[in-house]
Structure 1
Amino acid sequence: MSEIIRLKAHVRIRESARPHGRRGRPVNEIMTLPRHNLPKRASHFIGRERDVTDLRQLFDSTRMITLTGAGGIGKTRLAVRVAETMLAGFDRVRFADLSEAVGPDAAVRAVADTLRVVDDRGVHEAIIAMLRPQRFLLILDTCEPSVGPLADLCTRLLENCPDLRILATSREPLRIPGETIWRVPPLSVPARTSGPQLSLLRPPEPDVAVVPGTSLRPQEALRYEAVRLFVVRAGSARPGFEVTRDNLGQVIELCRMLDGVPLAIELAAARVRVLSVRQILARLDDQFRLLVGTARDLPARQRTIRATVEWSHDLLSDDEQTLLRRLSVFATWSMRIAEEVCAFDTISREQILDLHASLLDKSLVTAGPEVGGRAHYHLLDTVRGYAAERLTAAGEEALVRDRHLDFAVAALEDSARLAVSDLSWPERLAALRRTDHHRENTRRLLAWARGHRPVDGLRFCVALRSYWAVRDATGEVVAHIGGLLEETANEAPSAIRARALALYAELTLDGESVGTAASAADAALKEARNCADPGALTTAYCAMAQVGLYTGDPDTAHRWATETLDLARDNDDLVAEIVALNVLGSLLLGRDRAAARALFEQSLAVSESINEGWSIARGLTVLGVIDLPDGDPEVAARALTTALRLFDDIGSARDSARCCAALGRLAIRTGDHAEARSRLVEAMRLSIASGRRLSIARAVAALAELAVAEDQPVRAAALAGAADSLRTEAHPPGRASGRIRAFAEERLGADTAQSAWHSWRSLSVERIVNEAVEFPTVLPSVPLTPRETEIAQLVGAGLSNRDIAERLTITSATAARHIANIFGKLGVTSRDRLAEWARANRR
């Protein structure tokens, strides 16, 4: 038998050297191999059209491409799809599955078996002899268990087989000359919006998973590969499934939480058989139990997310496994953070760089954007979850999280000290963006500090005071600070508690309860007086002054602002000096604008002396607003436009909204209503992005002022009434509210004005916004027939088509035709707009 085998090998090698047939293929090769052995796909290939095209083109300039990426990212499917599109360009295409190849020579022998070569002179030589005369595409799938032997094989093949192309898949590169590495990205998902959507402005229903809304329509969302994959696979699992406006936001958030990883998305979609998308989303905290599949066409290592990650983990060295599990505490990190936090016991600081590079090469660590000149990294959520389990099992979780908190507190306190120096504005902006990038780390550190290290948690919060002022932190942050204050009632030093209580007061001022802020400010003052820390006392005075201003207590505000100013100047606390001058200036706005301007100009000068762009922009905004009634419009426009540029650089939606609203009011004053509409709509968009109900109320109120200028009393009253309804008891109606109501009563009469005032107050926030930015195109005196006028008035009274038909003894269809004619004559597109016109033209 062995002689027969050797004879076959000898014949095959000899025949491969014979003259080729008319298409350049060895004569015997046609008989020995089918044209290709690509695995049949059990489901349709979705997405990655650009990747397929680019990879095909890349083979024009390179002979070997290695597709790398994390487990489940879709390397094998992409390789097979590329090969399918290239069949016509090769004599033969062979797919070698190397996932079961164990041992130093097993992978090379698996390649030989796939090619059906028998080696009597050595397996490498037999493979080379087989491939040398052919135009051949060789796909080597799952190379990571045998990188060394396969690297040697591929090097020799590329040297000896000029018409060979190799397409490999591996979780790490083979690192050989001529290899082009192609990192397979996750599937595309819709980007997150810059701020919370309208659905998040209202409290969620109990026991319901909340997801960000989306402005995309279903058909638009299906342009994204991850969404398309989920919808198609979910439709296979439950025929009839489709994406709708009701579940679209949940589908998108699901794809985001799964990092756009195809395997995870497919396993989640399979759960649609028994769970709704909302239920799947709510259960994603336990991905490893939820994301389990039973598809027989998948190898065992890809039938669960756990098996996929475990496969990669088991190929790591001990030190690589240790670093990976320690990295799981971060949402994102730079090399410096990894070196400071993860280097202890068995891993030295000097080892981190090489170990980290190895994890990156093996697709377990993912490179992210460069932030502030430093490369940043993260783990895919599936990898992080598995690594976190290993960290807990190793008994290292508390130690690593404590080290992370220690590092963060020290770094932030250093940054806070630098913030009062003469940093340039670009340096300040870079620091702001670094903190933005680490926002999820901030959440994790705060959650860990509560119950474990509450005093250090307060230090962490205090160090972020300036950042949270710029970013308008509320909600979750305030809850964490409140919880930390409760935990440290008898533990934290007075100086730390005083600063933390003052911060808590400042962050709750613009919320639902000014009373909470006042209590916190009082407590801060008491703590500050118990310690010999001038900085803590200044911070407490600042909080007291701001509480006085917000609660309408000018005497209290003036007293504490004056105390703050004196103490700040004595201690060279420029940030506190800015706050005090702003409070004193605000107290004078309604009485002495010239004196107020002088104080705000002083504040602006201090801000400019330390290049504090956010304070500069706020100062310019106030100075522009002061000039709105009767100042030089060009001066006001320059101040507001400069401020808006700074706010846009910072990314402060709340402040940009106020600035846009002021520019809109300036346009109203100059009679440019088209510019006013544009500015005020932008103010509304930014207010929504800020996620603040009060900000939306202010934008609606500004649109009410435009309606007055455009002589639309019904719309003006409806907008002003809605703006008041969006405010809370802590935020009384704006100064223009009474003036707008008087205007509406004068034009419409008291009863009609009252009806208009309340017409939008019961609407949802989203409906109010939609109505506010839909400007009427109504002509005030368009002639209608007597019957049309009568029907318009009945619509204005709230009657339906059926009610109108019964009232006028006509059919509902006739009433509908009349209303359609009225729409055409008046240029309106909804019954609400027609009702508004009817109320404004009531006879």
Structure 2
Amino acid sequence: MGGGMVAMLFSDIEGSTVLLRRLGDQYLDALEGHRRILRAAWTAYGGTEMGTEGDSFFVVFPTAGDAVRAAVDGQRGLAEHRWPGGERLRVRMGIHTGTPGVYDGDYWGMDVHLAARIGAAAHGGQIVVSAVTGQLTQLPDDVTLRDLGTHHLKDIPEPERLLQVTIVGLQNDFPPPRTLGTSTSLPAPATPLLGRAQDLDRITGLLGRTDVRLVTLTGPGGSGKTRLAIGAAAELTTRFPGGVYFVPLASVTSERVLWTTIAEVLDIPPRERSRVVNYLAQRTLLLVLDNLEQLPDAGKVVAEIIEGAAHVKLVATSRRALGLVGEHQHPVAPLPVTDAADSAAVQLFVERAQAVRPTFTLTPENTADVIALCRRLDGLPLAIELCAPRLRLFSVKEVLARVDQSLDIASTSTVTPQRQRTLRDTIAWSYELLSPEHRRTFRRLAVFAGGADLAAVEKVATSIDPLDVVAELRDANLITLSDDADGTRVRLLETIRQYAAEQLGATDEDAAVRDSHASYYAGLAEQLERLKKTTSDYPIERAETELDNFRTALAWSTDHDVRTGLRLCASLGWVWVLGGYLAESRGWHEQVVAAAGTTSSPELAACLRGLSNLLHLQGEPERAYEVANRSVEMSRELGDAAGVAFGLAVLGSVHRQRGDLAAARSTLVDAVDRHRALDDPWRLGRVLSHLGGIEEDLGNFDRAEELLREALTITESLGDAHEIAVQGQNLAYLLTLAGRLDEAAALAQELIPTVLALGSPSLTMAFSNTAMNILLRRGDPVGAAELFGAEEAMGERLEIPNPYLREELAEALALVGDTLSRAAWDRHRQAGRAARVEDLLGQLTLAGQPHS
């Protein structure tokens, strides 16, 4: 298998977990049929399978046209096949054409990542291709390409224009691709937008005016504010070249997390306020901020965005106005209910009723009752969506009678607004239809933020089979289910979650359930930290999925169970650092440390270590030194040998940052000796590497090499790909400084595929610096200058400061000498700033080059 241009296709079955649950043993027959059909298509067009795992394929084709024709034939074959149980297998496919690297019989590089991201953006039954693939493909007569616009794909720095392969006779209408930013970050609505034409006209008209920056959609819970905001934003995508971004904030309760959540949607590391404002100030885009009513500082954040980003406009949804100067309110009324059968509320009721009873239609016998029911629900979309599924069990007349009985009790209240009483009682009616155990589980689900998987539901919320209770709650439309990488996820709409929380708060089990929630997620945090040390695949995506639950657990435990809060802080440090949440992590650490007071404990010592590391990373060495010392002394008082060893490792790094290499060396020597007595090879490898860095700084290259090679051997035995790359790059840099360029180049060349595949910004920049130093010493000042500029620009984009930039530049220019003029160096350095570090590394050949 050689290099050159190829087309890469990724495919998998959409909703495979749900399909497996429905088909049971028949799923294997379906999976085999799926593989047989697609493999026939791959083979017919010269495809080579590079990977097959579960229901997914990674196939490489000689040309873009071969890949597209194979995908078309595959989709046709899947559509024509009769699947077990009358099911329909929906396979999503993504294709990109490029020149990936070839290493050890496999393809690697950004082109492969881009193809995989395009596949993940597609929907079941859809084929999505990159622009270059579309340009290189000659299509059959009954196949065309539809432009889906420009999209931001996860972990791909530059936007990509995507195209849909449209096939005559097959489904061609799909929701927007699942991508970041632009219009495609908008959720795909589950229901049509009915009866909102006038609302859409006013909102889009307001946002089209140059003097309008903020439109706030206000109204009671369940009135359809979110759905209307999504509909309006979808009509405005072409007006905002920087994109349209939907920011869900139902689980957010603080200004700090609000900034973090906006940054996550925009895909901005680090996730901090200043970075968000700076990013927005350079773009023309639309932000949809959904569910702001529970945030007391929401107005402050919105005002700062408006003042700092002149070309950004915002749509906000809230039950109350933000109270800002220049805010334009748009009250969202319930859907109109008239005596006509075609009113928007009635249409919505019929649409949702047919979802559970396909044969349901309006008839002369039931139309009056449907209209009366919609009127009794005041046309509230959420109330209608809660009631309509009950037609699976009852007639319209029976549903109307039950709603009347429930609502009449509360209708005499003069305190609660009528529409809120209506919605509350609609939820209450569904709630009261549940069995006692299902009601207990439903109200306990209120403690979860951002949803929960079935394991968490079982441990925290129910004592019966979680599948049974989830099915019942889903039938009652009290929860929503989604299929993610870790299985089924259970969520409550925010209005329903608030009702569940009220029910939970009225019982004597509220505190116990919240304690259970916090304890469960502290245990999960500890489990994920162990996995990070013992597996080659960091569970960072799993951890980030649960960030809202971790935050909720931290907030509760800080006030009610500090020990659990300390456990969470101690276990989540790596998540905050790798995810770019340094400011938020520091806030949690300081809050929990303050709540813990002066009572010594191993958990507090661990939390202090984490806080010291954060202060170290944020450039506060003196405070980091103070906190690290406190951690070490506390562990000594407790007789905690492991805690002392861990604390000394942190303290040694802080000494180095303070410029005291002698203290750093003696501290880390002590830490190494203590770690050798502990059964924790992962930490031993880390501290050996730190000590190796000190010996390198002191010019003791032989001793530094011994330490780094031992660290690398330990890490390789653990199979930790990220740490292997870190230690390998450290060793390559040392060999470069020692003048052993052939060895350094060979090692660095081996590491390039791993570094690029891992995608860690800090590792990529460190490795780029090592590669630049090798090029400088091998007589390639042009390549070195380009890498220098690319790394410099990457650090500025990510706000990762390089305090040694001036010294590194002086050293580089000294090594260049007369081989390249200063003007030429600056020219190539500037060219590098316009390139991606990953692209330059992917094209690099270090091993085998002669050096001057």
Report the TM-score, using the length of structure 2 for normalisation. 0.50
* Other-structure match for 1:404: 517
Picking from 680, 692, 710, the partner of 1:573 is 680
1:338 aligns with 2:457: yes
Task: Give, in whole Å, the separation in 2 of the partners of 1:684 and 1:424.
Answer: 32
CA spacing shift, 1:481–1:524, aligned 2, 3 Å: same
1:155-554 correspondence to structure 2 within 5 Å: 194=155, 221-222=182-183, 234-237=203-206, 240=209, 251-254=244-247, 284=317, 286=319, 293-294=332-333, 296=336, 298-299=344-345, 307=383, 311=387, 313=427, 314-315=429-430, 317-319=433-435, 320=438, 322-328=440-446, 329-343=448-462, 348-350=463-465, 352-360=466-474, 365-371=479-485, 374-379=487-492, 384=497, 387-388=500-501, 391-392=504-505, 397-414=510-527, 416=529, 423-426=534-537, 429=538, 431-468=539-576, 470-471=578-579, 474-491=582-599, 493-554=600-661
Task: Give, in whole Å, the separation in 2 of the partners of 1:66 and 1:288.
Answer: 47
SS of alignment partner, residue 571 of structure 1: coil
CA spacing shift, 1:368–1:244, aligned 2, 3 Å: closer
Task: Give, in whole Å, the separation in 2 of the partners of 1:381 and 1:449.
Answer: 22
1:713 aligns with 2:822: yes
* Other-structure match for 2:129: none
1:773 aligns with 2:834: yes
CA spacing shift, 1:433–1:240, aligned 2, 3 Å: closer
Task: Give, in whole Å, the separation in 2 of the partners of 1:238 and 1:550.
Answer: 50
**Is the 2:558–2:565 contact (alpha carbons within 8 Å) kept by the matching residues of 1?**
yes
C-alpha displacement at 1:486, in angstroms?
0.8
Deviation sequence 1:489-527 (CA, Å, 0-9, x none) = 134x43222222122112221113111111101111221
Picking from 558, 573, 583, the partner of 2:665 is 558
Deviation sequence 1:461-510 (CA, Å, 0-9, x none) = 2233455565565110111111111111134x432222221221122211
1:639 aligns with 2:747: yes
**Which one-letter code corresponds to 2:182 in the other structure?**
A
CA spacing shift, 1:698–1:575, aligned 2, 3 Å: farther
C-alpha displacement at 1:640, in angstroms?
3.3
**Is the 1:620–1:642 contact (alpha carbons within 8 Å) kept by the matching residues of 2?**
no
Deviation sequence 1:61-89 (CA, Å, 0-9, x none) = 99x9999xxxxxxxxxxxxxxxxxxxxxx
**Which one-letter code corresponds to 1:425 in the other structure?**
S
Task: Give, in whole Å, the separation in 1 of the partners of 2:627 and 2:743.
Answer: 40
**Is the 1:568–1:577 contact (alpha carbons within 8 Å) kept by the matching residues of 2?**
yes
C-alpha displacement at 1:459, in angstroms?
1.4
**Which one-letter code corresponds to 2:450 in the other structure?**
A
C-alpha displacement at 1:457, in angstroms?
0.5
Report the structure, 1 or 2, having the larger strand content: 2
* Other-structure match for 1:660: 768
Task: Give, in whole Å, the separation in 2 of the partners of 1:437 and 1:481.
Answer: 20
Task: Give, in whole Å, the separation in 1 of the partners of 2:526 and 2:289.
Answer: 45
**Which one-letter code corresponds to 2:834 in the other structure?**
V
Task: Give, in whole Å, the separation in 2 of the partners of 1:65 and 1:288.
Answer: 49
**Is the 2:152–2:182 contact (alpha carbons within 8 Å) kept by the matching residues of 1?**
no
1:583 aligns with 2:690: yes
Larger deviation: 309-318 or 654-663? 309-318
C-alpha displacement at 1:335, in angstroms?
1.0
CA spacing shift, 1:575–1:254, aligned 2, 3 Å: closer
Flag the structure with larger Rg.
Answer: 1
1:647-726 correspondence to structure 2 within 5 Å: 647-671=755-779, 676=784, 683=791, 687=795, 691-694=798-801, 705=812, 711=820, 713=822
**Which one-letter code corresponds to 2:332 in the other structure?**
G
**Which one-letter code corresponds to 1:341 in the other structure?**
V
CA spacing shift, 1:531–1:318, aligned 2, 3 Å: same
C-alpha displacement at 1:240, in angstroms?
3.2
CA spacing shift, 1:58–1:597, aligned 2, 3 Å: closer
Task: Give, in whole Å, the separation in 2 of the partners of 1:696 and 1:246.
Answer: 41
1:43-82 correspondence to structure 2 within 5 Å: none
Identity across matched positions, percent:
18
SS of alignment partner, residue 252 of structure 1: strand
**Which one-letter code corresponds to 1:235 in the other structure?**
T
C-alpha displacement at 1:441, in angstroms?
2.3
**Which one-letter code corresponds to 1:399 in the other structure?**
A
**Is the 1:324–1:387 contact (alpha carbons within 8 Å) kept by the matching residues of 2?**
yes
CA spacing shift, 1:391–1:673, aligned 2, 3 Å: farther
Task: Give, in whole Å, the separation in 2 of the partners of 1:281 and 1:472.
Answer: 25
Task: Give, in whole Å, the separation in 2 of the partners of 1:441 and 1:447.
Answer: 10
C-alpha displacement at 1:679, in angstroms?
5.0
Report the TM-score, using the length of structure 1 for normalisation. 0.50
**Is the 1:549–1:583 contact (alpha carbons within 8 Å) kept by the matching residues of 2?**
no
Task: Give, in whole Å, the separation in 1 of the partners of 2:831 and 2:498.
Answer: 41
C-alpha displacement at 1:444, in angstroms?
2.5
Deviation sequence 1:687-732 (CA, Å, 0-9, x none) = 467x443169869967995999594636968999xxxxxxxxxxxx
**Is the 1:250–1:277 contact (alpha carbons within 8 Å) kept by the matching residues of 2?**
no
Task: Give, in whole Å, the separation in 1 of the partners of 2:806 and 2:500.
Answer: 46
CA spacing shift, 1:538–1:636, aligned 2, 3 Å: same
**Which one-letter code corresponds to 2:732 in the other structure?**
G
**Is the 1:331–1:441 contact (alpha carbons within 8 Å) kept by the matching residues of 2?**
yes
CA spacing shift, 1:382–1:773, aligned 2, 3 Å: farther
Task: Give, in whole Å, the separation in 2 of the partners of 1:582 and 1:460.
Answer: 27
**Which one-letter code corresponds to 2:512 in the other structure?**
L
Task: Give, in whole Å, the separation in 1 of the partners of 2:495 and 2:794.
Answer: 34
CA spacing shift, 1:549–1:572, aligned 2, 3 Å: same
Task: Give, in whole Å, the separation in 2 of the partners of 1:564 and 1:286.
Answer: 56
Task: Give, in whole Å, the separation in 2 of the partners of 1:516 and 1:546.
Answer: 13
**Is the 1:267–1:291 contact (alpha carbons within 8 Å) kept by the matching residues of 2?**
no
SS of alignment partner, residue 475 of structure 1: helix
SS of alignment partner, residue 318 of structure 1: coil
C-alpha displacement at 1:226, in angstroms?
6.4
**Is the 1:616–1:643 contact (alpha carbons within 8 Å) kept by the matching residues of 2?**
no
Aligned residues: 512
**Is the 2:246–2:289 contact (alpha carbons within 8 Å) kept by the matching residues of 1?**
no
Task: Give, in whole Å, the separation in 2 of the partners of 1:224 and 1:612.
Answer: 33
**Which one-letter code corresponds to 1:713 in the other structure?**
R
CA spacing shift, 1:572–1:652, aligned 2, 3 Å: same
SS of alignment partner, residue 512 of structure 1: coil
